[in-house]
């Protein structure tokens, strides 16, 4: 399914942090500034501990090529490569419903660039949507510090527009019209399931 890709730096920032090309670098898991990812992780832990939902981030797909087993100590992977994920980063179950979503951040103030998305990820979202899953994107505009839940059903038209090379991005205005704004709250900070409830309600009305 997955295949090694040439640009892990772009596709795996969340996992390896920022590193300058042409040098070896220790990964700083602390301040990697992935606040959307951290917020989602906190929310998922909260949901799990409160028996509300079971949602996990999938591990980064890695092609393991070489493993060393030193005596009396744990195995060391000393050659591996990043693969392009063939699915979204997050999925799980919420009240018997299958949830599937991708989370993206952009520094861009005015729009969300769609080159952030892989075509096979979108294909995966489409397939899950066809199976009646709850499929969406969580998009954070860093500079505005605004997070939106964009249902896949609304995302589709923007993706088609992108494929047809009409427009490469989704403007903030379009996001506000087509997505749900998620206000930060106390606990969990990013309570996106509250917004998922609205989505479920709206989609059930649409589908009836």
The answer on whether 15 is annotated among ligand-binding residues is no
Using rule CB under 8 A, residue 18 touches its own copies:
no
CA 49 → CA 94, 188, 191, distances in Å? 13, 12, 14
Q: Which of 28, 119, 132, 143 binds its own copies (CB under 8 A)?
A: 132
Using rule CB under 8 A, residue 71 touches its own copies:
yes
- Could you tell me the smallest distance in angstroms from the CB atom of residue 63 to its own copies? 9
Using rule CB under 8 A, residue 163 touches its own copies:
no
Task: For residues 203 and 205, give the distance between their C-alpha atoms in angstroms, rounded to a whole number.
Answer: 5
> Virtual CA dihedral for 25, 26, 30, 36, nearest 10 degrees?
50
The answer on whether 165 is annotated among ligand-binding residues is no
Tell me how crowded residue 89 is: count the other CB atoms within 10 A of its CB. 20
The interface with its own copies within residues 45-64 (CB under 8 A) comprises 45, 48, 51, 53-54, 56, 58-62, 64
- List the one residue out of 19, 21, 11, 17 whose CA is nearest residue 30: 17
- Could you tell me the smallest distance in angstroms from the CB atom of residue 35 to its own copies? 18
The sign one gets for the Cα dihedral 104, 108, 110, 113 is negative
Interaction site with its own copies (CB under 8 A): 1-2, 4-9, 12, 15-16, 19-27, 41, 45, 48, 51, 53-54, 56, 58-62, 64-71, 73-83, 86-87, 91-98, 100, 124, 127-128, 130-133
């Amino acid at each position: 399914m997955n295949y090694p890709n040439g640009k892990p730096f772009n596709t795996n920032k969340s996992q390896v942090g920022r590193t300058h090309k042409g040098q070896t670098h220790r990964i700083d898991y602390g301040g990697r500034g992935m606040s959307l990812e951290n917020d989602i992780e906190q929310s998922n832990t909260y949901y799990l501990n409160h028996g509300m939902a079971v949602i996990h981030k999938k591990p980064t797909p890695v092609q393991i090529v070489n493993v060393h087993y030193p005596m009396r100590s744990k195995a060391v992977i000393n050659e591996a490569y990043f693969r392009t994920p063939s699915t979204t980063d997050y999925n799980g179950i919420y009240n018997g419903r299958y949830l599937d979503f991708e989370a993206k951040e952009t520094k861009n103030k005015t729009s969300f660039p769609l080159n952030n998305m892989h075509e096979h990820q979108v294909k995966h979202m489409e397939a899950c949507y066809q199976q009646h899953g709850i499929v969406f994107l969580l998009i954070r505009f860093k500079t505005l510090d605004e997070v939106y839940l964009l249902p896949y059903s609304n995302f589709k038209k923007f993706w088609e527009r992108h494929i047809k090379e009409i427009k490469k991005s989704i403007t903030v205005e379009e996001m506000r019209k087509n997505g749900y704004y998620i206000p930060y709250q106390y606990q969990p900070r990013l309570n996106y399931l509250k917004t998922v409830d609205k989505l479920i309600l709206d989609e059930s009305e649409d589908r009836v």
